[in-house]
Structure formats: C-alpha cells, structure tokens
Amino acid sequence: MKILIIGAGIGGASAGIALQRLGHDVVIYDKMRENKPVGAALSLWSNGVKVLNWLGLAEEVAALGGRMDDMAYYEGVSGEVMCRFSLEPVTTLTGQRPYPVARADLQGLLMETFGRDRIHLSSTATAIEDDGETVTVTFADGSTDTADMVIGADGARSFVRDYVTGGGIEREYSGYTNFNGLVPANEAIGPV
C-alpha cells in the first residue's frame, strides 16, 4: 500500500518508519524548508521510548537522551518547590528509563532513519481529493501525489484535519503556560 504522510515532525516521521517496517511504500511531505530547532526539549516518557526502541532506535535515543532521575515543579516568582518526585517507580514499573531530548535532535534522527530521500520539504498541501479508492494531494507548487491513504501529521493548524472535519476547529488557550529549556546542571536548581 502506498501511504502519504503530511508532516515530517516527530509524529509523522515515527509513523513513516513504523509503516515502512510493516512493508508499506511511504512518502512524507512537509511545508518546512529545513529541520531547525523549534522548542527546547521533550520529556520522552517510558512508553514513548519503548515505541522508539521498537522502531530500531534504542541505542540512538539513549545516546540523545540525558539522565532524568527526578522531576520537580517550582513556583515561577518565589522559586518555592511545589512538588518533587523520583522517576524510579516509573522506570521499575515499565522497565524503561525516560529521557529528556532536544526536539530538533530527535526529529533529525527520525527523518534520517526514515530516509531523507523520501521526505519532500517545502511542500505545502493545498488540496485533497478522495475518489474512494485513492487520495490525491495537490501542493502549492502545483505538483500532486496519489496514494491509497493519506495521514495528517501536520500539527496544530492541520490542513489534513480541516479536510476531514470540514474545518472550524480553533485552538483555545488552556489557562496555563509551560516553559521548557535546557540549562547546565546546577545544585541551586536541582540535584546534579
């Protein structure tokens, strides 16, 4: 089966690798021009690491990941510790350590593993036609590709989702903001 994935991010590239492993002909398209750092870091929890292990990336992901033994939340103004807990129960229960990773590094690894020759960047999907047997995607440059299936992994402002739902799904502020970042280990901030 030929499958087009719209979106070369972590979800799209992971799905592409998995589908290739299952024997499908997969091509990925993304509107980005190049993989640049977006965001700072991700916490890959044990279940996600196990999926990446199944994709054949156990050693690579372990090498990208840092050590994450504890987690803490601090009040932003006062610096007061709101809660702190060990991740050892998670590791013991699942048999897999969680890892913090830089988003761009993980995405680059996934894109490389999938095969950069099968990823078409600077390709913005502008139309989808489904005749019940095949699906054809048209891109901003006028090119098209046809497949048996299209998977939308094109993010928060998904063109594919809007095609499926008819549009109108708006993002709403959830009432909180999360800041992520990478800092050198420092006892003043947390255990080294």
Tokens of 25: 């002909």
Query: Does residue 189 carry a pLDDT above 70?
Result: no
Domain ranges within the chain, ordered by starting residue: 2-165
Predicted TM-score of the model (pTM): 0.84
- Looking at 3.50.50.60, 3.40.50.620, 3.40.50.720, 3.40.50.1100, the CATH number of the domain 2-165 comes to 3.50.50.60
| pLDDT above 90: residue 27 | yes
Q: With b meaning 16 or more CB within 10 Å and e meaning fewer, what string describes 157-179? A: ebbbbebeeeeeeeeeeeeeeee
Q: Rounded mean pLDDT of 57-75?
A: 88
Contact status, residue 132 vs residue 35, Cβ threshold 8 Å: no
Q: Let me know the angle formed at the C-alpha of 13 by 10 and 19, rounded to the nearest 5 degrees.
A: 135
pLDDT digits 0-9 by tens, 73-128: 888 788 888 999 999 999 999 999 999 898 889 999 999 999 999 999 999 999 99
Q: How far apart are CA 148 and CA 4, in angstroms?
A: 8
